[in-house]
Structure 1
Amino acid sequence: MSVRVRRRPYVLKVKHVDSNTSTGRQTILTPARGFRTRLVRVEVQQDASDGRHLWELYFGTAGNIITDQKKGIDILAIPDQGSDSTRTFLRNEGPRGLRDEVLSGRWRGTAPVNAHKIIIEYTEEP
């Protein structure tokens, strides 16, 4: 007897968002209704000289990453005129949010004066 494994289609999605310029929480990705976000990679880029900043990345709507540490993904250190990213996760291995749970981020410490570019690579799962 042979068993057939039916794999789900793997569709990588990419979204570009401009960051806010305050230390408040920002929703950077909302999954399609009834789906979960599986993170592949997030990169934050600083185009104009603005100093070094820290960016918190987490699932949910908490005010910061410390409020619900189980949902924390990473804290990125963005150098002056540089970029930083999370590690790149393999298929089905990245952090996954709950159904309909947003991906959030916020500046830790001092917020930048200029908006930064946030590039999110992800998949959506039922």
Structure 2
Amino acid sequence: MTLRSTGVLAVTVTVEADRRSSTERTTIPISLSVPAVIVEVLRGRQMTMNFCTDVISTDAQPTSTMAATAGEGEIVLDAAPPEGEYTACGSTRGSLRLTGLDAEDGTTFAPITLASETIGCYSG
């Protein structure tokens, strides 16, 4: 099954990155065999809406959440600000690369590569 940017599916990757280096970029390998890395596929309507940092839309809630069953990649984040130094919401640069991603229902994904300069804000 091939789905394009229809807002029907969203892929989320959850990792802990609060304690990363303040002097060097941090690379976090994504492997489904590592319990600290959670990769999920959300299905619903208008799924892209809740990845904005402004307002959570109740029209965009997932109707199902599936674990990824295959896939690997990496997240790369810029160095953290020095301890005690405040940086504005969304002031971290980073990138995500995922390949071989499959969901529990058999949905497969083309390789995913993206970069952002506004990591660090959360909806709501």
TM-score range, shorter chain: under 0.3
* Structure with more helix by fraction: 2
Q: Which protein, 1 or 2, shows the higher relative CO under an 8 Å CA cutoff with sep ≥ 6?
A: 1
